[in-house]
Every structure is written in C-alpha cells, then in structure tokens.
A and B are shown apart, each in its own frame.
Chain A
Amino acid sequence: MALDRWIALVLLGICIVYGYAAWFLMDADLAPFMRRNPIWPSTFPKVLSILGIGASLVILLGLEKGEEKIGDIDHRRLGDYFLGQALFLLGLMVVYALCLRPLGFVFSTSAFLIIGSFILGERKWHVMVPVALIATGAVWYLVQEVLGIFLRPLPIFVMGV
C-alpha cells in the first residue's frame, strides 16, 4: 500500500476518534442554557469529522484519479540518503527540549549547535566552538537583556530558579 494511503488510514483513525468525541462525549457536560443555543461547541467539530472521514476514505480507497508523484526524496529508498544524520538531528532536538530548562540556555544551546555541526560531519573545532558560543551569547543577550524575555542562562542547580 502506498504511503499516502497509510497516512490516510491514520488520518481516518484520528477523524473517527475526533468524531466520536464530538458526537458522543462533548455534549454530556453542556450547561442547560447552552442546549437552547442553535449552535453547540460540538457543532463545528461534528461537521469537520464527517468531512475528514469522507476525505480520508477517498484517499484511502484511491477514488481520486492521479498518478503517484515522487517528490524531492523517494521515501522508498531512504537508505540512499543521509538518514542517520537526519535521525540524530531529530533526536538532538528532543534532547535539547528536555535539557533547556535544567541545564540552562547557554550550555544547552552551545552544545546543540556544536553537536549539530558534528553530526553533519564538521570537524573544525576551532570554528565550531567559537561560532556556537558567540551565537548563543548574542541570542541570549538579545532575547533576555534587550527584549526582556526570560531565558535562564545557567543550569537550574546554579541559579536555583
């Protein structure tokens, strides 16, 4: 089965769950005065669930005529591309999200930029490290000091907040 049909299957599942919540669960807690309104909080979701189920079924059953187009990257030959680098970078983003608060902005961001370049094959440490540190410092200064948006610079065990 082609990838777009698999995705349509997943979307169909999402729309069914969404529709179930809209049709059978949402109205249970509705206040009595709201029941007199011509439109309820579930009205729009109900319409959307029907549209979503209909559209995903059309894709899933292949009712719309059209040739399968391969974009820039053929997902059936992912091994031919730099898949490892992409997966490592996505993993690095997750690690960054988890470390940003406990380890602070300066350390997390510098490490993210250095490791990111490393994953992509860069080995010029004398360029990577200063570039990462300068960029981190500049962004922190702009966001925290100039714009006044709080970004904890140091780890939580140092700053205590």
Chain B
Amino acid sequence: MLEGILIGLQTALSLQNLLVVIGGCLIGTFIGMLPGLGPMSIIAIMIPVAITMGDPSAALILLAGVYYGAIFGGSTSSILLNAPGVAGTVASSFDGYPMARQGKAGKALTIAAIASFAGGTIGAILLMIFAPMLSSVALLFHSAEYFSLMVVGLSAIAAFAGPGQVTKAVMMTVLGLIMATVGEGALFNMPRFTAGIMDLQSGFGFITLAMAMFALPEAVFLVLKPKNLGQDGGEIKDLRITRAEARAIAPVIGRQSIQGFFIGVLPGAGATIASFLGYAVERNIAPKAEQAEFGKGSIKGLAAPETANNAACTGSFVPLLTLGIPGSGTTAILLGALIALNVTPGPRLMVDDPQIFWAVIMSMFIGNLVLLILNLPLIPYIAKLLAIPRNFLIPFILFFTLMGAYIGQNNATELLMLVGFGICGIALKFANFPLPPLLIGFILGGMLEDNFSRSMQLYGGVSFILERPMTLGLLIVAAGLIVLPAVRTRFGK
C-alpha cells in the first residue's frame, strides 16, 4: 500500500496536476453555486476537456477537483439562499440557512468547508484501507435492505416533528411521497397520475420542487417583511469558530465521516441518504436542550450532513474502482470518462493500473485540501453576497430560482409549476407546516417504492422483512429513531 501511496502522490503532486486540481476546484465551486447544476452536470460538461488532456491520471484529477468543488458550491447556495441545487445539499440548508439569517453566514460556510474537508479526507483514508474488502460487502445489500435504508432515511423527518407538529410533519412526508408517485416509475413503466399531461410524464422535477418549497417562500417572506441578512445579530464575514464550537462538532464530524462513507459504499444509496441519515442520527443522540436547536441554526445540524455527504461521495468510489459498478449518477458519468480514457475500472484496476488507482485516491486528499485552502479566504467575499441591497438581491434570488428549474428541464412549463408550487409553499409556511419533510419524502419516495416493489416481487410478499435479518435490523433502527424522541420528550429526559 505504501508503494501505491507514493506512486499516487508522485503523480498527483506534479506541477501540472496541482494546477489541474486547483482549476477543477475553482470551476466546480463557482458553477456548483448555480442552482440546477449539480456535480453530475458539471462533470459531464468537463469530460470533453478531460479527455483532450490525454493523460488519464490528469483527467481524473481534474474531474475529482470539479466534483469536490461542485459539492462545496452546492452547499453555498443552500446555506446562503436556501436554494439547494442538488438533493445531497438539502439537509445542509436545514440549519445552514437559519445560521445565515442570524448573521452567521461566514461561520456557516466555514463549518461547511471544514466538515466537507474532514468528511472527504477521512473518507479517502477509509477508501484506502477498506476498498477491496467493502466491495464484496456492498454486494450483500439487496433491494430489501435498500428499502429499509430508505425508511431509516425517512426517519430524518422526526427532527421537524416538534410539539404539536408531529401530524403536520407526517402529512408533509406523505405529500412528498405522493408527489414522487406522479409520472412514469422506473419499475412499472406506466404513467401514473399524469392526467394525460405530457410535461408530467417524467414526474415533478426535484429542483423545481426544492426551489418552490425552500428558496421562493424565503424570498417572498423577505419581501413581505424586509430583513437585512447582514445585520441580524452577527458579522457575516466572521469565520471564527470558538473552541467550544470546535469541540461540539468534532465528534459529529468523526461519526458522520464513518457513517457517511459506509452508506456511500452501497450502490444507489449515496450522498442524499447519507446526509439525511446523518442529520437524523445526530439530532437523536444530541442532548435534549440541543435537539431543540436543530432546524434553527444548530452547528451540529450543519456539520452532520456536510460531513456525511462528502464522505459518502468518497465512499461511492469503492464500487466504481473495485467492481466497475457506478454507485451514483456522478460515478456513472465518471465511469464513462474512465472508459473513454481506455481505463477499465474493476478488480484488476489496482493491479493493472496502480498509478491511476492511487492517483485518484491521492487526488481526493489534494482536492479536498486545495478546496479548503482556496475557499477559506473566499468565504468572507461569498458571504458578503447577503449584504447586497435587498432591492437587487431579491430579484437575483428569484432569477436564480427560475434558472435552476429552467436549466434542469429546458422547459418553460417548469417555471409556471415553480410559481404554482411556490405559492403552495408560502401558504404551508404561513400555517407552520414544516417543508423539509415534504422534500425528504419526495426525494426518497421513488427509491423507497422501487426497492419495496422489487423485494415484494422477489419474495412474493412482505416475508422479506422477517427473512432478511439486516432488513429487519434496519427497520428496527428506523422505528427507534422515530419513536425515541417522542419517548424522551414524554419522560422528560
């Protein structure tokens, strides 16, 4: 392994490759900030550039830089504007945006940068150690386990079920699940609830819904009741994290790096589940006083999903590099790039092309480090976005909200749907219905139904719950995560 690390370092630390990773990180960060352009789109766009570079190692280093940059960029729009452009950063807005509203935008971005760095770096260490071993474990996960994993992910809604809000949170989750059933499902191959409207054939767009439920209501509330985001109790450029805060988030980062990585290893699970699950777990194990802070600007609530989604992104490289199986959309695009570069990922990659295997892993370390070094000095300037006068800032937020939905689908009907859903989102917000559960239900709904249906077909009924111990175990964990907070509240512990 040591020899491999040295080969990888030698390749990744050459001047050309260092410049490539810096360029990749910058491109990824800035384009990733645009809602609607997630890592997958940006990597797809950068593939022709990578291929023309000729050298597979340099090309992969560029793409890794773009990947990590895009993830961080996505978190930025999520935290500053409450406009999560990709599903993996939705959970970051739960506490990141409230922090920005409290005038702690700089601190929130710093925590996001550090948590992302730690998640990515610890994930890369775990990848080095466990990659060959985990590739076989990942294959033990079948649809039944995935179904139960989605149920565990849904338990994140408990964080929004405060006193008197449990039914509203459940209602919003069910509504999200209902919306996920609209369109042509992957398994049944028949349109459902489309009312013959062609634009609904592929279902509702995630970005449209995310913008309508998060960014648009917030922007309208800022219009209704003007609020200077830059002067609401803190110095937005202030990056400092106190020692007590560092001590509070350190164990969260440690736990979520490991948990996120192992979830990322499972093909199909990925950063979204990891971030929701990370959020749910940290909220449930937090002391009661801190639990109430979740959703209102908790630093733990921000650090958990940020760490978990980065660690999961690294974990998703395990099935890609060791089995040639893309575990997520982004790694599927990377697989295409590898094949175009005449590199065949799989069990032989480490033996046949060790310099590529190790260069990719080393580029993860360097990419994360470069990203941290580049972004920390930029954070004060990025955070200053919120100090732009309201008369200019709000039209821009609304414009980027519209663009996010439009770029994703290239369909003007999507914009009308965005406004329609946005008005519904505003009404729900007025009535204190928690909106994150709706989006959690919508994101997980399709995967939940597909995996449940597959398991039912394989086992001819629900017997798989009892026949597969891992499924049963995960469902018990999910039940615990949902019931535990209520029990703790009831008994005042």
| Chain A residues within CB distance 8 Å of chain B | 2-4, 6-8, 11, 14-15, 18, 21, 26, 29, 34, 37-39, 41, 43-45, 48-49, 51-52, 55-56, 58-59, 63-67, 69-73, 75, 78, 81-83, 85-86, 89-90, 93-94, 96-98, 100-101, 109, 112-113, 116-117, 120-122, 128, 131, 135, 139, 142-143, 147-150
Residues in chain B near residue A4, CB distance under 8 A: 168, 431-433
Q: Is B394 an interface residue (CB 8 A)?
A: yes
A95: shortest Cβ distance to chain B, in Å? 10
B182: shortest Cβ distance to chain A, in Å? 10
B465: shortest Cβ distance to chain A, in Å? 13
In chain B, positions 177-197 with a C-beta closer than 8 Å to chain A are 177-178, 181, 185, 188, 190, 192-193
What are 28 of the A-B contact pairs (CB < 8 Å)?
Answer: A2-B431, A4-B433, A7-B428, A37-B457, A38-B460, A41-B185, A41-B192, A45-B178, A52-B171, A52-B175, A55-B171, A59-B167, A66-B163, A67-B164, A73-B221, A81-B225, A82-B225, A86-B224, A89-B398, A97-B412, A97-B416, A100-B415, A112-B395, A120-B223, A120-B394, A139-B403, A142-B31, A150-B410
Which of A26, A38, A121 has the most chain B CB atoms inside 10 A of its CB? A38
A101 touches B412 (CB 8 A): yes
B399 touches A112 (CB 8 A): yes
A82 touches B407 (CB 8 A): no
Residues in chain A near residue B226, CB distance under 8 A: 82
A38 touches B394 (CB 8 A): no
Of chain A, the residue at the smallest CB distance from B177 is A48
A87: shortest Cβ distance to chain B, in Å? 9
Of chain B, the residue at the smallest CB distance from A86 is B223
A64 touching B167 in the complex, CB below 8 Å, given contacts A86-B224, A93-B402, A139-B403: yes
Give the CA-CA distance A41 to B181 in the complex, in Å: 9
Of chain B, the residue at the smallest CB distance from A44 is B449
B171 touches A56 (CB 8 A): yes
Q: Is B241 an interface residue (CB 8 A)?
A: no
Which of B165, B396, B423, B431 has the most chain A CB atoms inside 10 A of its CB? B431
Residues in chain B near residue A72, CB distance under 8 A: 221, 225
Residues in chain A near residue B41, CB distance under 8 A: 147
Residues in chain A near residue B223, CB distance under 8 A: 82, 85-86, 89, 120
B193 touches A3 (CB 8 A): no
A147: shortest Cβ distance to chain B, in Å? 5
